[in-house]
Amino acid sequence: MQLFRRQHVVLCRSCVRCASSQYTKTVNLPLTDFPLRSDPRTRECEIQHLAEFNDLYRWQQNNQRLTKRFCLHDGPPYANGDLHVGHALNKILKDITIRYKLMTGHKIDYKPGWDCHGLPIEMKALSADDAWRTMPATDIRKLARDFARRTVEKQKTGFIRWGIMADWDRCYHTFDNEYEAKQLLCFYQMYERDLIFQNMKPVFWSPSSRTALGEAELEYVDEHVSQSVYVRLPVSSRSLPSDLQASLENMRSDSNPGIFLLTWTTLAWTITGNEAVAYQTEATYSLCEDVHANTGDVYIMATDKISDVANATGLALNPTYTFNGERLKGVEYFHPLAKDKTCPMLPSHHVTLDKGTGLVHIAPAHGMDDFNLSVKHSLPLQCNVNEDGQFTDNVVDGLSGMEVQSEGNEAVIRMLRKKQLILASMKYTHSYPYDWRTKKPVIVRASKQWFIDTDKIKNQTLACLKDVKTYPE
């Protein structure tokens, strides 16, 4: 019985092999060279070549049956690095648009190009150290131009590889002599029409990259920490209105207390450029006596901020006289760092009671609202900070060459404390603008910049926009 079973198993296996050999010849299957596994890196290129993807643009340009035209004005990419998903989204969506137009009977005009100027390219072309700070401008331009040229070729190869339909044989680059000549001609035409002017204005300035930045080039860091200070500014008593003088006289003791404006700032270094203190005309202000101090000093601040200021500074503030902000018109105070210099108090709508004391120190060279107020009241505009974010020689003795965001800020605080003008100092966490390229904090700094007077072409521009259709509406 055992032997039979073993022989039966052997016999069945043999039959299976024989049957398999016989039936293989009866199956009619197609013969193909199609590979068992695909290789996208080579196969897609072969498909593009066989389908003549790169010839599609040339073909449609020579097709006489296409009578309508569609021109794509493409915002050029920066020649500052490898392609990424942002490039893909941009180019593929535009490629869908022009292919749709081609299918609806349009002849396509699309001449691609590259923006080969600007800080993004310079940052990539230059070394990470500070050697570029002493390089001649011509050497920087050459390095940036060579880098841009290499990057253009890499990006162009990638766009063609994606199958983007365009006139790749006649691309433009912003460093082309022809392109730059047209830019100069356009600038000259604006100059002749009196649209170009140069002026000192505060701008966001990056000491780490030594350039002005636009709003789109900023990143706001919510966890930035500043050293905030409460600074008192001595008031010229003779400039006070009669009712404030009378109230002050009633509080005076044998110690002859002083009267001060109380301000708060997170940028102590800007006090070197102080030219005024702003107040809100609609707000209510108070004369507050520090009852625990031996001197009995009196402070002017917004009435609604007395409690917050007392908690922050430790002062025992007792409001003795309350008045409307309009009564501060004409009041003057002594500059905290400049000897024998008096500055005015000015009304301004940008003063709020959200934080601080209701009084804002004004440095026209270091704030947008400050600058606008200075223009309105003809305040001096002088920037004491250079392109590297350091104090210049025009500032108070002992500060020249110091970086305003570090040692310079600390030195100003020490000076104010030595003059007994700081009531409190503390760390303050808040949102602050950073350079999106270097990831370092920026400052606001007045510098000479070129501007286009858009007011002169505003009406003409608005008229042109009537013929422009935007999608979606």
According to the model, what pLDDT value does residue 120 have?
A: 81
Burial category of 445 from C-beta neighbours within 10 Å (exposed 0-12, middle 13-18, buried 19 and up): buried
Kind and range of the H or E run holding 396: none
Strands (E) across 303-394 are located at 317-324, 332-334, 342-347, 360-362
According to the model, what pLDDT value does residue 437 have?
A: 85
According to the model, what pLDDT value does residue 130 have?
A: 64
Q: In the β-sheet with 196-206, what is the strand arrangement from edge to edge?
A: 211-213, 196-206, 443-452
Mean pLDDT by 10 residues, the chain (473 residues): 44 53 72 76 77 84 88 92 94 95 94 90 74 80 92 94 92 94 95 92 91 90 96 93 85 71 96 96 93 81 95 91 94 92 95 94 95 93 92 89 95 95 95 92 91 92 90 77
According to the model, what pLDDT value does residue 265 have?
A: 96
According to the model, what pLDDT value does residue 27 have?
A: 75
Model pLDDT for residues 363-400, shown as the tens digit of each residue: 999 999 999 999 999 999 989 999 999 999 988 888 99
According to the model, what pLDDT value does residue 177 have?
A: 94
According to the model, what pLDDT value does residue 186 have?
A: 95
Rounded to the nearest angstrom, the gap between the alpha carbon of residue 148 and the centroid of all alpha carbons in its chain is 23
In the chain, what is the greatest distance between 2 CA atoms, to the nearest angstrom?
132
According to the model, what pLDDT value does residue 128 have?
A: 55
According to the model, what pLDDT value does residue 127 have?
A: 66
Q: What is the pTM of this model?
A: 0.70
According to the model, what pLDDT value does residue 11 have?
A: 46
Residue 6 and residue 18: Cα distance in Å, rounded?
19
